[in-house]
Amino acid sequence: MARGHHDIGGLPGAGAIEAADHPLSDWEILADAINQALGARGVKRTDEMRRAREEMDSAAYRDMNYYERWVASMEAILIEKNILTKDEIDQKLAEFESKWGEP
């Protein structure tokens, strides 16, 4: 079986460990908290989130930063469970943009 894009333990070519930590942005703190809250409410499980990350497009997986992968996998799982739809999310974003005047 070919390795999935997430299954990187032991792969060659990795560089030095960058030890510096970045302070989390507000949206990252929010994504983290929503993920935990959905877990606490029994809406989704850790292994479901991991499956969603494992099934996403491989190039996207490598290009996204950590919490972007979380948001993408939360969205996939919430849509899969018929809790949200992509259209609803798109529409909500369009509302924000018209209300706050940002493109």
Q: 66-95: which residues touch another protein (CB under 8 A)?
A: 66-68, 71-72, 74-75, 78, 83-84, 88-90, 92-93
27 touches another protein (CB under 8 A): yes
Q: How many CB atoms lie within 10 A of CB 69?
A: 20
Among 46, 59, 82, 98, binds another protein (CB under 8 A): 46
Interface with another protein (CB under 8 A), residue total 63
19 touches another protein (CB under 8 A): yes
Distance CA(84)–CA(76), nearest Å, equals 9
- For 31-65, the three-class secondary structure string (H helix, E strand, C coil) is HHHHHHHHHHCCCCCHHHHHHHHHHCCHHHHHHCC
What is the SS3 assignment for 9? coil
- 7 contacts 44 by C-beta, under 8 angstroms: no
Q: Rule CB under 8 A: which residues touch another protein?
A: 6-34, 36-38, 40-41, 43, 45-47, 50, 53-54, 62, 64, 66-68, 71-72, 74-75, 78, 83-84, 88-90, 92-93, 96-97, 100, 102-103
